[in-house]
Amino acid sequence: MILEKLNDLIRKFEGLRLKPYLCPAGVPTIGYGHTGPEVSIKMKPITEPVAEAMMVQDAATFATASANLSPVLYFDSDKHSAIADFCFNLGTTRYKASTLRRKVNAGDWEGAQEELQKWVWGGGKKLPGLIARRKAEALLLK
């Protein structure tokens, strides 16, 4: 499942880093926000095509997972991209237990837009990058 707007959101908000790094949560990361057991700070840098392939695979994984949690997403690629990006950023576990998911499943898109704005905190403060990301996602829920 390829959602081009999802890929665009990931590219824009994750950025591309070919060398491994620790994300703000302290998780080893590489490429466009790719994490997993195979990623370590000591791994060799990757190429841009490898990063792109990882991102496409990760995007497909979160697109499928978000739609499984909210089947209503199958009917609108913009809304699907927004929620899949949220899941890519914060994980499906948080989405699964969230009021955001309840709003999405109820088709309450205005309520879902409002809920997205609550997910902008990191380390006890509002983060400009998360504020911008949630705003971009909310625009796709209209």
Reduced to 3 DSSP states, what percent helix, strand and coil does the chain have, rounded to the nearest 5? Answer: 60, 10, 30
User: 52 an active-site residue?
Assistant: no
- Comparing CA positions, the residue from 101, 126, 128 lying closest to residue 115 is 101
Out of 23, 38, 48, 110, the active site residue is: 23
Out of 14, 87, 115, 137, the active site residue is: 14
Which residues does 56 contact at the CB level (< 8 Å), separation at least 6? 2, 7
Beta bridge partners of 31: 17
Rounded Cα distance, 56 and 134, in Å: 21
Count CB atoms within 10 A of the CB of residue 22: 10
User: 87 an active-site residue?
Assistant: no
Return the active site residues.
14, 23
